[in-house]
Amino acid sequence: MKKRRYKDGSLDGVYTPAAKGIETLETLIPDSMDEGMKSALERLDKALGGDVAGFVCARLKVSREELARYFKAEQVDSIALAIYNIEARHEAMVCGDETGVGKGRQAAGIVRYAKENGRLPIFFTEKKNLFSDFYRDAKDTGIAHYRPLIINSDGTVYDYDKCIDSTPGEEKYEAVYEPLPNSEMTKIFKSRRMPEGYDYILCTYSQLSDSEEKKEFLAAVAQRGKAVYVCDEAHNAAGQSSRGDVVRELISAEGCDVIFLSATFAKAPKNLLLYIQRTKLKDCTTPLTLSLAIARGGIPLQELISSLLVESGQMVRRQRDNTKIEVNYNNTDEADRQIDDVNYNRIMRFVRDALSLQNMHVRELISQLKQQKVLPKSAKPYSIFSYMFVITNALLLAIKAKSVVKKTIEHVRDGRAVVIGLSQTSAAHLEPQRLINLMGKNVKVGDLVRGDFAQYLLFILERSLVISQGKDEEENEDGSHKDQKTILDLD
């Protein structure tokens, strides 16, 4: 494969699609995967008689013109790989493409494949709003008419291309598909049968731990319909947790198949446990041995495993070429910078004071309470130092916000569309429970709350008074154990 060299000396391979006659996105592939990808595509092309695009047309029941309109060459390749793994191996494929390559289009392609070949597509994702994102891809691939059975009671599917109220901050869009009333869904769950008139299922992973009835319904209709699971944001379904156990149980059922989609598919070593039973990994390892191996081998071993999956034709990971994007750096105005310096120093002084409070008083009090056997030996101050990275990033964003707004207004007045990218939104600090903890009262819609950096400072102060007493027996939603916490009263 051709190579693309960056200024820092690193290399990426230039992806060469196997599907011919389809427009390409001109993507790149990590250097460690390019030879394996080339080998996998050559074997696929040979197995499909030298016509990857024709194979996908036949399975999706579309013409070549429709295929070229719905998908790019990279997407056709991965759809072909997924279908080949399903039909020839009864195994899965992991789509780890980065943003901009079209994982949603590929998911829609597999949903179409399953439906058009007499199987039941079941689309899993992390959040209900992603149902509407999937509908956009369904529209673009000719399956907007497929009617979904929505498991989430609040999972209405909206058409983001049809705005019915453009009031800033209160935009509303046309509802395309709505969940059935709870009473009807209860009957459907109890029947354990797919109702007439529905083509596929939409469901978030959270529903799997919501009720045993829903899990049993999904298992029953999946086995009866020889389901093809499309696991979007698959890293959220992985790991050693009750949710992960349910997903692994569902996708391992006889007659069912699966495709995984996630740009961060191996976000943590535990994520790989989800893929073992449905890929070639099952031939060379077990969940226990893989966990132990990754604990010792770390990131280099994870990269090796990914490369081996690519070479076996069970993984793709492409990315867009960003080298041609012009990046301009802007400095804040001198007058603003002087004010920012003062504010920065004031805030960091507060943080240092909070750390001093914890080190000088909280630790001493914890020690006394341990001696009095009021607290267990495992008790210790809750670390606020670990939040410093988040706090510092938020502070730098707050400092730059005014300049960003000025630049945005300038561009809008010049007739340009502006997209503002944020590394974090700080939304967690405006959640109702967080505000209740900080404000000491119930917070409801319509109440006025502080939206400045004081929320972060109050958060730090609160954390400086928290004592961690070790792990509780109660499980979080992801299967991890909750910390037992106590907040000190220094009065």
Q: Which helix (H) or strand (E) holds 4?
A: strand 3-5
Both structure tokens of 386: 């670990």
pLDDT given at position 301: 76
Average pLDDT score over residue span 317-327: 83
pLDDT of 475 > 60? The answer is no
| pLDDT band at residue 37 using 50, 70 and 90 as cut-offs | very high
Helices 34-47 and 287-311 cross at an angle (nearest 10°) of 70
| Separation in Å, CA 341 to CA 61, 282, 334, 371, 401 | 63, 56, 11, 44, 14
Strands 3-5 and 11-14, bridge-based pairing: antiparallel
Both structure tokens of 264: 């961060």
Average pLDDT score over residue span 76-104: 95
Closest CA to 58 of 87, 15, 27: 87
- 216-229 b/e (C-beta count within 10 Å ≥ 16 → b): ebbbbbbbebbbbb
Among 383-392, 414-423, 430-439, 476-485, top mean pLDDT goes to: 414-423
β-bridge mates for residue 204, sequence order = 125
| Gap between the Cα atoms of 48 and 43, Å rounded | 9
| Gap between the Cα atoms of 120 and 450, Å rounded | 48
| Gap between the Cα atoms of 204 and 124, Å rounded | 5
Q: Is 272 helix (H, G, I), strand (E, B) or coil?
A: helix
How many degrees, rounded to 5, is the angle at CA 165 between CA 159 and CA 175? 30
| pLDDT band at residue 265 using 50, 70 and 90 as cut-offs | confident
More confident residue, 485 or 481: 485
The answer to whether the beta carbons of residues 56 and 44 sit under 8 Å apart is no
Q: Which helix (H) or strand (E) holds 432?
A: helix 432-439
The answer to whether the beta carbons of residues 269 and 238 sit under 8 Å apart is no
pLDDT given at position 8: 43
Closest CA to 265 of 294, 295, 237: 237
pLDDT of 116 > 90? The answer is yes
pLDDT in tens, 345-386: 888 888 888 888 888 888 888 888 888 888 888 788 777 766
Average pLDDT score over residue span 331-355: 83
Q: Is 322 helix (H, G, I), strand (E, B) or coil?
A: coil
DSSP 8-state secondary structure symbol assigned to residue 337: H
| Gap between the Cα atoms of 233 and 134, Å rounded | 12
pLDDT given at position 66: 97
Sheet of strand 380-381, all strands in order from the earlier edge strand to the far edge: 380-381, 466-475, 481-487
Q: How many CA atoms lie within 13 A of 411 on its CB side?
A: 11
DSSP 8-state secondary structure symbol assigned to residue 349: H
Residue 173 CB partners (closer than 8 Å, separation 6+): 132, 158, 159, 160, 162, 163, 164
The answer to whether the beta carbons of residues 153 and 179 sit under 8 Å apart is yes
Q: For residue 182, with 0-12 CB atoms within 10 Å meaning exposed, 13-18 middle and 19 or more buried, which class applies? A: exposed
Helices 52-60 and 103-116 cross at an angle (nearest 10°) of 60
Q: What backbone phi and psi angles, to 5 degrees, belong to 338?
A: -65, -40
pLDDT in tens, 214-260: 999 999 999 999 999 999 998 888 665 677 788 888 998 889 999 99
| pLDDT band at residue 204 using 50, 70 and 90 as cut-offs | very high
| Gap between the Cα atoms of 63 and 58, Å rounded | 8
